[in-house]
């Protein structure tokens, strides 16, 4: 292998450091660091964790950006306090480069900007941010992959050197509280949805595990029938099927992935043979390195975990594969997630005929039939066979016997179009007068009120709303649903308190959320929303704790796994743990290109390419991304 040594580059960087000391008068403190850097050290020690800063690029201009002007003004007091930017190129971070030395400056240092210009140049920017110009990218570096580290200077002494990391951002929202239709109904908010439906009304999801026999790829109806029979699909069809197929790690990668794809396709074909409606499918396949590395721990083959994947495959000859077969046989499997759709008796009935049937059922007070027809109308709206305006044609008397039907209609309209929420909210308040003890109506009112408050559509006194929510327990509303609502209350409160820079009370709301979310089940969307929430409000440690157990699971959602990696790749103590390698290999199996992208520059969607200074991460990257 031909290595390109970066000794010259290291020398140049070191030379630049010496030049910088002369040209810019920057002093690199020695034993007197604690004394000369006392002001800077104290200011950072007192920095609220919510205060964030970075260097951002616009064309060839660089700006220092901060979200708290008061802290900024505390940091820069003396005329020779300032900021200098170290422009770092990825050129010397490849797998064939060997970096020599550890200079204090990694790239090309720009001229420092000092207190007078920093304070006079700081201007308000979008979303309660402030920014100030701190330099231009040199022409020689414009087209290179770059990152921008920050030198904080106190009386021209280098007192702090910051590498900026990028934390991937996702849209986060309130936890889905659902609405009562026939039963509590949720939005199918998936981290990566494979369907277009606005919400789940008539579906349920079931999960199965199917073991594979070695070298077998075909499944027949007989193989699958016991699973199909266990679903008792007299009232349901399979609408979608998501398959994650895994092979054991011995053998060639190409053959393993080919075999897994064949197995997954044969499962779909076998299940499809039991019904006419086409099953939507989402299939992925990979080698099961996660369970392999976990299962060999404490066995005579434990030493294999220290080898590269290629080295392990070489070791797994016929004899060793036979010896490991009691372990390997458990790694060949498919994880199935089936989404079932309730069969619709009225599916092929024209809308006008369906509406007439609904009104007949209402007139004759056949409530079950009316609700079944109502569901069919909802389904046609979801499938865009009719427009939402069709709901206006449904005449539902405001009588206590029809409360459930009216409540369903109102809830559906709100879930289908959030812009209808205020109208629906007022309708439900009127319905509550007709049925003052109906828990489902009261629940829907509270859920919509929270959403309206979040969108600043109604004024809310938080303590009164909390009392209203707690009172739902008197109407047989499950405690876990009440807790979920209370978490949303504190999510909204935290937003307001953060904007007011009331960090202490914001932390109280965050603490409530952290202690309460454990009381109810979380969807993948909930996990990601909460993790993003904790990170946004400067509680990254809570995000890590939330996701750490899921990160070890072979069937973790892709976005959850990569968000966990985003949170933790900069933690050297954590990344040295042998379990972390297993998590990274899981990410590589799920989406190799996305894993490799983590080591790009921030501008190219990575965490930072400077992670490659870590030998452990560099070895994993080079094993999987540059061959």
Report the pLDDT value the prediction gives residue 10, as an integer from 0 to 100: 35
**185 DSSP β-pair partners:** 179
Instruction: Tell whether the torsion through CA atoms of 607, 608, 614 and 616 is positive or negative.
Output: positive
Report the pLDDT value the prediction gives residue 581, as an integer from 0 to 100: 85
In the chain, the percentage of residues whose pLDDT exceeds 90 is 51
pLDDT tens readout for residues 109-133: 999 999 999 999 999 998 789 999 9
pLDDT tens readout for residues 359-396: 999 999 999 999 999 999 998 998 899 998 999 899 99
As a whole number, mean pLDDT of residues 521-550 equals 90
Cβ atoms within 10 Å of 619's Cβ, excluding its own: 14
- pTM to 2 decimals? 0.81
Report the pLDDT value the prediction gives residue 199, as an integer from 0 to 100: 41
pLDDT tens readout for residues 204-228: 677 888 887 777 777 666 767 777 7
Choose among 141, 123, 142: nearest CA to 133.
123
19 compared with 86, residue with greater pLDDT = 86
The conformational region for residue 378 under phi > 0 = left, psi -120 to 50 = alpha, else beta, is alpha
Query: 218 and 266 in contact (C-beta within 8 Å)?
Result: yes
Cβ atoms within 10 Å of 65's Cβ, excluding its own: 17
**125 DSSP β-pair partners:** 129
3-state secondary structure 518-557: HHCCCCHHHHHHHHHHHHHCCCHHHHHHHHHHHHCCCCCC
Distance between CA atoms of residues 550 and 435, nearest Å:
43
The answer, yes or no, to whether residue 100 has pLDDT greater than 60, is no
Query: 48 and 71 in contact (C-beta within 8 Å)?
Result: yes
3-state secondary structure 466-493: HHHHHHHHHHCCCHHHHHHHHHHHHHHH
Query: 306 and 239 in contact (C-beta within 8 Å)?
Result: no
H/E element, 41: helix 38-45
195 pLDDT band, cuts 50/70/90, is very low
Contacts of 189 (CB under 8 A, 6+ apart): 173, 176, 523, 525
Distance between CA atoms of residues 119 and 340, nearest Å:
61
pLDDT tens readout for residues 77-98: 999 999 999 999 998 787 765 5
**124 DSSP β-pair partners:** 130
E strands along 201-313, which residues?
A: 203-211, 236-247, 280-287
Distance between CA atoms of residues 217 and 119, nearest Å:
68
Report the pLDDT value the prediction gives residue 582, as an integer from 0 to 100: 87
Query: 328 and 250 in contact (C-beta within 8 Å)?
Result: yes
Tokens 């050129």 belong to residue: 91
Specify burial of residue 107 (Cβ count, 10 A radius: 0-12, 13-18, 19+). buried
Instruction: Tell whether the torsion through CA atoms of 265, 271, 274 and 277 is positive or negative.
Output: negative
Distance between CA atoms of residues 334 and 326, nearest Å:
18
pLDDT mean across residues, the chain: 86
Distance between CA atoms of residues 343 and 372, nearest Å:
11
Distance between CA atoms of residues 35 and 38, nearest Å:
5
Cβ atoms within 10 Å of 156's Cβ, excluding its own: 20
Query: 243 and 286 in contact (C-beta within 8 Å)?
Result: no
CA distances to 5, 399, 477, 612 from 98, rounded to whole Å, are: 5, 80, 63, 11
Specify burial of residue 252 (Cβ count, 10 A radius: 0-12, 13-18, 19+). exposed
Contacts of 597 (CB under 8 A, 6+ apart): 604, 605, 606
Write down the domain spans for the chain. 4-162, 203-342
Choose among 330, 338, 331: nearest CA to 224.
338
50 pLDDT band, cuts 50/70/90, is confident
Report the pLDDT value the prediction gives residue 220, as an integer from 0 to 100: 66
Tokens 């069937």 belong to residue: 555
Which tokens belong to 170?
A: 């996702």
The answer, yes or no, to whether residue 623 has pLDDT greater than 50, is yes
Instruction: Give the distance from CA 220 to its chain's centroid.
Output: 37
- 3-class DSSP assignment, residue 423: helix
| Geometric angle at alpha carbon 124, from 119 and 128, rounded to 5° | 125
H/E element, 465: helix 462-470
Tokens 């939507």 belong to residue: 280
Where does 203-342 sit in CATH, by number? Answer: 3.30.1330.60
As a whole number, mean pLDDT of residues 428-453 equals 96
Choose among 335, 333, 347: nearest CA to 377.
347
């Amino acid at each position: 292998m031909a290595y390109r040594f970066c000794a010259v580059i290291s020398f140049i960087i070191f030379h630049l450091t010496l030049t910088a000391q002369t040209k810019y008068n920057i002093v690199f403190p020695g034993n007197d660091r604690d004394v000369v850097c006392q002001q800077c050290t104290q200011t950072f020690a007192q920095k609220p964790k919510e205060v964030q800063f970075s260097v951002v690029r616009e064309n060839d201009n660089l700006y220092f950006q901060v979200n708290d002007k008061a802290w900024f003004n505390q940091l820069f007091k003396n005329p020779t306090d300032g900021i200098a930017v170290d422009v770092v190129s990825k050129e010397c971070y490849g797998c064939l480069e060997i970096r020599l030395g550890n200079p204090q400056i990694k790239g090309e240092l720009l001229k420092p900007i000092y207190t007078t210009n920093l304070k006079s140049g700081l201007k308000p920017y979008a979303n309660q941010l402030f920014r100030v110009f701190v330099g231009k990218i040199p022409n020689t570096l414009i087209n290179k992959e770059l990152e921008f580290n920050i030198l904080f200077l106190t009386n021209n002494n280098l007192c702090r050197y910051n590498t900026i990391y990028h934390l991937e951002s996702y849209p986060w929202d309130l936890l889905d509280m659902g609405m009562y239709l026939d039963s509590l109904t949720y939005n199918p908010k998936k981290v990566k949805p494979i369907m277009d439906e606005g919400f789940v009304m008539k579906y349920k999801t079931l999960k199965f595990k199917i073991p594979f026999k070695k070298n077998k790829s075909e499944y027949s109806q007989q193989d699958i029938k016991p699973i199909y029979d266990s679903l008792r699909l007299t009232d349901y069809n399979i609408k979608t099927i998501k398959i994650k197929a895994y092979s054991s790690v011995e053998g060639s990668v190409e053959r393993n992935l080919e075999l897994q794809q064949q197995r997954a396709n044969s499962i779909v074909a076998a299940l499809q043979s039991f019904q006419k409606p086409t099953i939507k499918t989402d299939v992925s396949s990979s080698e099961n390195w996660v369970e392999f590395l976990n299962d060999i721990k404490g066995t005579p083959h434990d030493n294999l975990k220290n080898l590269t994947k290629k080295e392990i495959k070489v070791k797994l000859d016929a004899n060793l594969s036979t010896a490991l077969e009691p372990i390997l046989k458990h790694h060949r499997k498919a994880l199935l997630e089936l989404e079932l759709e309730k069969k619709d008796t009225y599916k092929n009935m024209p809308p006008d005929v369906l509406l007439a049937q609904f009104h007949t059922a209402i007139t004759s007070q056949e409530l079950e039939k009316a609700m079944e027809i109502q569901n069919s109308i909802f389904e046609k709206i979801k499938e865009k066979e009719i427009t939402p305006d069709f709901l206006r044609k449904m005449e539902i008397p405001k009588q206590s016997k029809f409360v459930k039907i009216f409540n369903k209609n109102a809830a559906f309209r709100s879930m289908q179009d959030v812009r209808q929420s205020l109208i629906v909210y007022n309708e439900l308040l009127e319905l509550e007068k007709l049925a003052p003890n109906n828990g489902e109506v009261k629940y829907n009112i509270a859920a919509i009120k929270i959403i309206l408050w979040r969108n600043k559509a109604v004024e809310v006194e938080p303590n009164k709303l909390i009392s209203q929510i707690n009172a739902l327990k008197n109407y047989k509303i499950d405690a876990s649903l009440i807790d979920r609502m209370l978490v949303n209350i504190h999510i909204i409160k935290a937003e307001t308190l953060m904007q007011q820079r009331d960090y202490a009370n914001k932390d109280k709301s965050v603490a409530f959320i952290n202690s309460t979310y454990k009381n109810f089940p979380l969807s993948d969307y909930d996990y990601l929303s909460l993790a993003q929430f904790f990170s946004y409000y400067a509680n990254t440690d809570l995000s890590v704790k939330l996701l750490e157990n899921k990160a070890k699971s072979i069937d973790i959602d892709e976005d959850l796994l990569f968000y966990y990696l985003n949170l933790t790749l900069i933690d050297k103590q954590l990344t040295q743990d042998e379990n972390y390698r297993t998590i990274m290999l899981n990410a590589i199996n799920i989406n190799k290109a996305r894993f490799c992208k983590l080591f790009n520059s921030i501008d190219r969607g990575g965490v930072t390419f400077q992670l490659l200074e870590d030998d452990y991460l560099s070895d994993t990257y080079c094993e999987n991304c540059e061959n």
